[in-house]
Amino acid sequence: MSDDAVGPAETDDVLGPGWVARTLPLRPDALSRRGAPDPVATLVHRRPDDAAAPAGTPATPPSADLAPPRPRTAVLYLHGFVDYFFHPHVADALARAGYDLWALDLRDYGRSIRPGRPANEITDLATYTEEIDTAVRLLRGSHDRLVVLAHSTGGLTAALWAHARRGRGLVDALVLNSPWLELRGTTFERTVLTGAIDVVGRVAPRLVVSRTARHYGEALHAATGGPWDYDLAWKPHTFEARAGFVRAVRRGHARVARGLAVDCPVLVLASDAAGPDDRWHDALLTTDSVLDPAQIAARAPLLGPDVTFVQVPGGAHDLALSPAPARERYLDEVLRFLEERLGDA
């Protein structure tokens, strides 16, 4: 893959030595036409010579004439709402099995946030098609196969994208980690309130209609006693949800409810239990305290004709950030599915 093929050259990434990022310029949008910077996305990767070697691989002296073979299968990671990629342990597990992970920070998220552009906002999930298509085109040009691995709102976005791109042979497998396929809440919130949001989100998309609960983030982050360290400017404990965003998500939910036709094998994974999402409790990291796993299980079969659903006992909302042994169980299930469906990496 040449620099010309992927846009600007790689720069050192915030994840540290070996990690690099490429900024992907995107088309001007309504915000940039009003004077804001043009949107960008960011593709994050670890240099091949810094990736974890597959288990059992003997050490080989470096050679100027022999570059390491590029893995045949690329895995494209998509994050959730108010989120970004900070999961090198997932890249390690995939690399040991022979997979090449690339992560995409979508426009206005994480590494792609730019001054003058509101962070973490969208009014139509299909807008992300541009950067997903760009990343997929680049990775398909250098790998034989492509897997999309997506979390939460990214899981909903990925499913809708894969449905819209069906029949093109772009993706060989879709893996969804706690995808947001339905609104957690009361029947009133899923019906009457959704109808109201559909109107409000169209006429006043920037109206704040709710905030995410802070308890899950506080349980995750090292500064508040959690096991993970990440940039709180890019993934704060709580963040406002605006009407345009909620409307876009609820329209995505409605599309899933009508049934999709994703034409590659799909693996959907979720915790085995829901925890309260409105208060602190001891099981914040051993239950899904953001979404309802029962809703995920019910909606998963609607994604396409070949869907596998797996529960991960003791899993957190982001299964990759669960405590052991749930985290290892999650990664093992992903690798088992890919081996069964794709064969050798």
Q: Is residue 281 part of a domain?
A: yes
pLDDT in tens, 296-330: 999 999 999 999 999 999 999 999 999 999 999 99
Question: How far apart are the C-alpha atoms of 99 and 95, rounded to whole Å?
Answer: 5
Question: How far apart are the C-alpha atoms of 335 and 329, rounded to whole Å?
Answer: 10
Q: Please report the pLDDT score of residue 323 as a whole number.
A: 98
pLDDT in tens, 14-29: 999 999 999 999 999 9
> DSSP code of 26?
-
Q: Is residue 309 part of a domain?
A: yes
Question: How far apart are the C-alpha atoms of 89 and 66, rounded to whole Å?
Answer: 27
pLDDT at residue 60 above 80?
no
pLDDT at residue 103 above 60?
yes
Alpha helices in the chain (DSSP H): 3-6, 30-33, 88-96, 129-140, 153-164, 187-190, 192-203, 215-220, 243-258, 293-299, 326-342
Query: What are the two backbone dihedrals, phi and then psi, of residue 240, each rounded to the nearest 5 degrees?
Result: -75, 145
Q: Is residue 149 part of a domain?
A: yes
Q: Is residue 63 part of a domain?
A: no
More confident residue, 343 or 255: 255
Q: Is residue 243 part of a domain?
A: no
Distance from the Cα of residue 330 to its chain's centroid: 15
Question: Could you tell me the residue range of the domain that residue 305 belongs to?
Answer: 3-53+70-183+260-342
167: left (phi over 0), alpha (psi -120 to 50) or beta: left
Q: Is residue 103 part of a domain?
A: yes
Q: How many domains does the chain have?
A: 1
CATH code where residue 282 lies: 3.40.50.1820
Percentage of residues of the chain with pLDDT beyond 90? 86
pLDDT in tens, 1-16: 333 344 567 999 999 9
Q: Is residue 212 part of a domain?
A: no
Q: Is residue 164 part of a domain?
A: yes
Residue 204 CB neighbours (<10 A)? 12
pLDDT in tens, 139-159: 999 999 999 999 999 999 999
CA torsion sign for 197, 201, 203, 209 is positive
DSSP-derived pairing of the beta strands 19-25 and 11-12: antiparallel
